[in-house]
Structure 1
Amino acid sequence: TLFACNVAESDLALLSGGEENPVTHHVKAVQEYAKNHFATEAVVISAQIESELVDLSEVEAAEYLRDLGVNESGVGALIRAVYHLLGLRTYSTTGEKESRAWTIHAGDKAPQAAGVIHSDFERGFIAAEVIQYEELVSLGSSAKAREAGKLRIEGKDYVVKDGDVIEFRFNV
């Protein structure tokens, strides 16, 4: 079960600002109900804003949301919530040629996550170099993360977390 609260554009700005008003009161009530009775979340979305976002470029959409004081589109939040409700998580790999997100199940360990890329990665798993996405972005590159000692070496019992950026070591 997932709850969605459709609010007007003006109300979304108020919600993101944290101001107390009738709309924030109703949204908080729905969020509490969802949490307490269904152990799920309530996503706030503005269908009005979402209909405007489809006509904008990615850069314009991000600027528009930023001007509203919102970090993520309602559709993005809804997709993320459904993803988590289904027990799915995402980790990334990155290299010179490509960066890619991979889907795994919540609770998957590093070898299982490696197996999503290729069965040889799982079979010959040695270790995983791990950093959280936000930390990698703040440092600027994998090389800088390595220099700063921020890459963790994890073994076969490491439970992969949503947002991990991983480089697998394996030998087949």
Structure 2
Amino acid sequence: MTIDCDGQRTEKCNPNTDPYCQNQTAWSQSDGAPLNAELLPYVVVPGITSTWSHSGSGITGATVAAVVYQGRVAYAVVGDVGPGDAIGEGSYPLAKALGINPDPRTGGVSGRVVDHILFPGCGRARSRTVRTPPQWGRPPPRTSWRAARAVPVCG
């Protein structure tokens, strides 16, 4: 998992701390401002390619995600879109909640499995305040993406 610090400029997320920092996110807060990667746990979905489309899969901004790493689970929302050939980016507080070094320049993990489980239809983007999702101490049971898509958790 690499650390994404796009969006609002903050002490921990800015061009000095992250050389790839961008001042926008694919989705914004209810007030129209870009997301705050220092405060909001979010994941980045790959851009649309000929093999996969987040929008075609029912995934949009604020879709709920559970992220699992070494027995820890943290909840987040979909907040940004990255390159079509990359998967596994998360914001500063998401990394911190998972026990991953959140530094955008030197942090993240490679060569290890970080599971991202998204729940299409849960948390569809609409004008509302996005709050930090709760964190429970037990990861959900392992499931395939297809199985997770079929579970009617949200309406």
Compute the TM-score of the two structures, normalised by the length of structure 2: 0.22
Higher relative contact order (CA 8 A, sep 6+): 2
Bigger proportion of residues as helix: 1
TM-score normalised to the size of structure 1? Answer: 0.21
